[in-house]
Structure 1
Amino acid sequence: MGGTARQLAVISATDVVDHDTADASPVVHTDRDRHMSPETIAAIRESVADSTRRAYSADRAAFSAWCQAEGRTPIPASAETMAEWVRHMTVTPRPRTNRPPGPSTIERAMSAVASWHEEQGRPKPNMRGARAVLNAYKDRLAREKAEAAQARQATAALPPQIRAMLAGLDRSTLAGKRNAALVLLGFATAARVSELVALDVATVKEAEHGYDVTLYRKKVRKHTPNPILYGTDPTTCPVRALRAYLAALAAAGRTDGPLFVRVDRWDRIAPPMTRRNKHTGIVEPIGDPAGRMTTEAAAEVVERLAVAAGLSGDWSGHSLRRGFATAARAAGHDPLEIARAGGWVDGSRVLARYMDDVDRVKNSPLVGIGL
C-alpha cells in the first residue's frame, strides 16, 4: 500500500470509538480490513498535486541517501539527525544553482520527511534543533543581503504590464489569438495555469455581460463561476480576446474539446504527438490526444511575452493570478470578494500577502500625519 494513501485513508481509533461500548474488547483488524485495492490507492494519490508528490519524493530520496552516507537511520529519525541534515542543506550547493537551497525549500524538505514518518506509522521527529539551525540560516542570509533571504514571489502582472506583453503579439494568427486570450482570461479569472489549461470550450458560455467561465479550483475542491466582463481598452478586453480566439478555433474545425490547444509552427492546431516504444515497437501517444496545452506550456507563454516586452522581474504563470489580486485590491475591492472570485481558501496567507503589498502603503500610519 502506498504511504501517502495509507496516511490519508487511516482514521485515528479515537475517532471511531463507540463510547457506549468503550469497555468492550478492542476490535482487532485483520489483513483484509487493512487492504486497499490498487484503484483506491491510485484515487487517493490523485488527490495530491503532481508537483507536490514529485517534490516530496525528491526530498525524501535526498534525505535517505544522506542518512545512508552518514550511517544514520532515516525512519525513525532522531532530533540530532534532523538538525544535522538541515545544517548540511544550508551549506551544500545544489548542482542547478551552485548555491544552497533557500529557507522555503528547506522547510518543504522538513515537511516531506515529517509526513513520511506519519505515513510509516511513526511519530514526527523532534524538529526543535532543526528549526534553530534553519532560523540561524535565515539570520545569516539576511545579514549577507542574500537574494534567498526573502521568499521568491512571482512578479504581479498588472494591466500596464499586460498591455506591454500583448503589444508585440501578432494577433492575426491563431497562436497570437490564443496567447492573448490565455493571458487576459487567466488574469480576469485569477486562474492558476493548471486550472486555465483544464478549461474546455463547453465551459465558456456567452452572456449579456460578456462570458461566464466556470473553473474547477482543485485547492478548494469547488467549481467557481466567473463572469468575464468587457474591458475599457479593446486591446486588453478579455471578452473581445476570447471571442476572437473562439472564432479562430471554430474556423480551424474545433468547436468542442480543450479550450487552449497546442499550435504548431505553421499556425495550425498541432496533431496528436506520438513516439515508438523502443521495447515493444508500438507507437504510443504523448500528452493529451486532443491537443490540450500543458501547464508548463501555458506558463511559458506568460514568461516569453514578459521577456519579449523587456519587463524585469520573476515572471511565471502565477504572475496573472497575483496581478489580479493586487490590482483588484488597489481598486478598492473587498478581500472576501477577491478570495471568492479567485478560489482562494478562507484565511489564505498567500492572498493576505498580496493584500499587504497594496495596503502597506495605502494604510500606512505615515499617511496624513503632517510630515
Structure 2
Amino acid sequence: MGGDERAYTSPVQAAPALAHSAVPVPVPATVTGTVTGTAPAGVLTPGAVVHGVPAAAADAAVSASTAARIAASVPEATRRAYAGDWNRFTAWCARAGRTALPASAETLAEYVSALADEGKAPATITRAIAGIRTAHRVSGLVPPDTTAARAVRKAYRGERAAAGLPNQRQAAALAVPHLRRIAAALDTGTAIDLRDRLAVVLGWAMMARRSELAGLDLADIAEAEQGLVVTVRRSKTDQAATGRQVAVPYGSDPLTCPVRALRAWRALLSEHGSASGPLLRRIDRHGTIAGVPGARPSGSGSADGRLSGYAIGKILVRAARRAGLAIDDLSAHSLRAGGATGAYTAGADLVSIGRHGGWRDGSSELLKYIRDVDRWKHNPMHGAGL
C-alpha cells in the first residue's frame, strides 16, 4: 500500500498483537489513509468512508506509525515481560477451559491462585495482573475487577511469611572486596574478559541499571581530566529521554579503574576497525566480536551486536563464579546496589548518591540499600555499654 493508504483492524482483532507489544494505553482500531468524498479537509460527512471503513471508525483510529510510537513509549523490558505474562495467561485459560479476553474477575482470581500454587513471587503475580489488565485496555475492553485477585495475593503473602519465605527478593550488593576479586579473575587480556571487566567495573561505578549499561554507545562516553563523562540517554526514571550525565572518576586500583578498563576495551575495538556503535557487544566462543567490520560471529543476537540487559546479568554471575564467590541473590542489580552502598559507606550523602545513580528524590529503593548499611554503621547499640 502507498503512504496514504490505510488498512482497518477491529479492536478485538488487534488485541493479541497489541497485548503482545504491551502498549499501556488504549489503542483503538488501526486505520490509516485518505477520505473519499468532497468534504473539506478534516471534515467527514455522514456517508464518508475510508477505504470501506465507516467515518465513525476512522475517528476512533490511530495509524500504524502512531501505534508504534505508543508501543515504544514503554520500556522494551516491560513490553517483553507483559507479552510473556499474557502468553502464559492465555495458555492457562486454554487448559482450564476459561476465556482470556475478556476475562472475568473469577478467572483472574483463579489464575492468581494457580500462580501461587506454583510458588511464584508476589511481585511476579502483581506484574501478571497488570499485564492482563493492560491487554484488556488495549483491546478497548473493561479490565476485570481485581478485588478477589488481590485478596488471593494477600493471603499468599501471609502463607509465604509463615513459611519463612521472603516476599520480595533483593539483589545482594556487590562489595568492593568482591569487585576486586572479580576484576582480578577477569585480568586475562582476552576479548571477552576485557569486555566483562568493563561491564562490571563501569556498572558499579555508575550505579547503573542493566538497561542503561546495555544502551550505551561508544560515543556516549568521553574522557575528561578527572575521569569519564557518561551520557545516559534514557533510563527507567527518565522516559521523556531528557538524559543525564554521570561523572565517573579514576579508580585507585588499576584493575577496578573504569577509565583504564574503557581504554583497554576501546583499544581492542580500534584494532578491529570499530570506533562507533554499541559499547558492550556480543563475542562468540571463538573470540569474534560482533559489530566490527567483516565480523561474522556465530550465534544469535541483535544485528549490531549490542548486549541485552539480561546478558549483562549473566556476565556478572559468570565472573563471580570464576572468582570463587557465592552467587546467591547476585544479579546485574548487584552492581547498582553495590555502588550505592559503597559510596554511602565511604561517606557520600543521599542526595549525591541519588543523582549519580538516577534515583528519584526520596526513592524507597535507595533508602532500602542505605538501611542495610545503617543497621551496622549507625547501630544505636554502639557504645551502649554491653
TM-score by length of 1: 0.80
Identical amino acids, percent of aligned pairs: 42
1:215 aligns with 2:232: yes
User: Within 5 A, what are the aligned runs for 1:213-292?
Assistant: 213-219=230-236, 220=238, 221-270=241-290, 271-273=295-297, 287-292=301-306
**Structure 2 Cα separation of the partners of residues 85 and 164 of structure 1:** 44
Is this contact kept in 2: 1:89–1:101, CA < 8 A? yes
Matched, 1:302 2:288: no
Structure 1: distance between partners of 2:202 and 2:78: 26
2:352 corresponding residue in structure 1: 337
1:175: which partner in 2?
192
Matched, 1:189 2:209: no
- Of 154, 160, 183, 2:177 maps to 160
- Structure 2 residue identity aligned to 1:37: S
Per-residue deviation, 1:114: 2.6
Q: Which runs of 5+ in 2 are unaligned?
A: 1-13, 29-54
Q: Distance in 2 between matches of 1:361 and 1:196?
A: 31
Unaligned runs of 5+ in 1: 11-28, 94-99, 276-285
TM-score (norm 2): 0.77
2:332 alignment partner, one of 317, 320, 326 = 317
Q: CA shift at 1:165, angstroms? A: 0.8
2:133 paired with 1:114 = yes
Match of 1:349 in 2: 364
Match of 2:50 in 1: none
Q: Which amino acid aligns with 1:356?
A: R
Task: Find out whether 1:88 has 2:114 as its counterpart.
Answer: yes
Does the CA contact (< 8 Å) of 1:234 and 1:240 recur in 2?
yes
Residue number in structure 2 paired with 1:60: 86
- 1:97 alignment partner in structure 2: none
Distance across 2 between alignment mates of 1:264 and 1:79: 48
- Measure the CA separation in 1 of the matches of 2:59 and 2:161: 52
1:70 Cα deviation (Å)?
4.3
Q: Is the 8 A contact 1:89 1:106 kept in 2?
A: yes
- 1:157-214 deviation digits (Å, cap 9, x = unpaired): 2211111112222343333222222211111112222221322222221211022111
Assess, with a 3 A threshold, how the Cα gap between structure 1 residues 52 and 370 changes in structure 2: closer, same or farther. Answer: same
The residue type equivalent to 2:193 in the other structure is G
Q: Shift in Å at residue 7 of structure 1?
A: 1.6
The aligned residue for residue 49 of structure 2 is: none
Q: What residue identity is the alignment partner of 1:177? A: L
> For this pair of structures, how many residues does the alignment match?
335
Partners in 2 of 1:309 and 1:46 — Cα distance? 39
Structure 1, 63-72 or 237-246: larger mean CA deviation: 63-72
Moved more, 305-314 or 356-365: 356-365
Write the letter of the residue equivalent to 1:256. Answer: S
Shift in Å at residue 66 of structure 1? 3.7
1:293 alignment counterpart? 307
Task: Find the residue that maps to 1:293 and give its secondary structure.
Answer: coil
For 2:150, what is the secondary structure of its paired residue?
A: helix
Matches within 5 A, 1:10-49: 30-49=56-75
Distance 1:235 1:70 in 2: 55
Q: What is the root-mean-square deviation in Å for CA atoms of aligned residues? A: 2.8
CA-CA distance at 1:238 after TM superposition: 1.3
Report the Cα offset of residue 123 of structure 1.
Answer: 4.1
Conserved? CA contact 2:200–2:335, under 8 Å: yes
Shift of 1:68: 4.7
Quickly say closer, same or farther: Cα 1:349–1:115, change in 2 above 3 A.
farther
Residue of structure 2 equivalent to 1:103: 122
Relative to structure 1, the CA distance from residue 292 to residue 79 in structure 2 (aligned partners, 3 Å threshold; closer, same or farther) is closer
2:217 alignment partner in structure 1: 200
Find the residue that maps to 1:256 and give its secondary structure: coil
Cα deviation code 1:16-72 (max 9, x no counterpart): xxxxxxxxxxxxx83222221112211211222233222222323333344455454
Aligned equivalent of 1:145: 164
Q: Contact 2:211 / 2:235 at 8 angstroms: preserved in 1? A: no
